[in-house]
Amino acid sequence: MGAVFYTRADCPLCETAWTLLEQAGLSAGLRRKDIASDHELTRIYGWRIPVVALASGQEFDVALEDQLAACLQALSVDVAAD
């Protein structure tokens, strides 16, 4: 799938979003990436995490309810296409 879940340690919003993705059966195709180990990723995503980035370049700030719903829809389509 090529999708990435940007996160960091001790991020309650990240853990909640990951749990929702797991419950929807969509976490298996996501690669988790801790932004703390990369200065550029921290600069880009620092206060936005958790973020899901699809291979298409589309990004979702999944801490926001509407973005999470859109992400779940996009991932469902992406999984069905694989």
pLDDT bucket at 77, cuts 50 / 70 / 90: low
Q: Is the pLDDT of residue 82 over 70?
A: no
pTM score over 0.75: yes
Q: Is the pLDDT of residue 1 over 60?
A: no
Q: Give exposure, 28-54, as e/b (b: 16+ Cβ within 10 Å).
A: eebeebbbeeeeebbeebeeebbbbbb
pLDDT tens-digit profile of 4-34?
A: 999 999 999 999 999 988 998 888 889 999 9
**Percentage, residues of the chain above pLDDT 90:** 45
* Contact of 1 with 76, CB cutoff 8 Å: no
Between 63 and 29, residue with greater pLDDT: 29
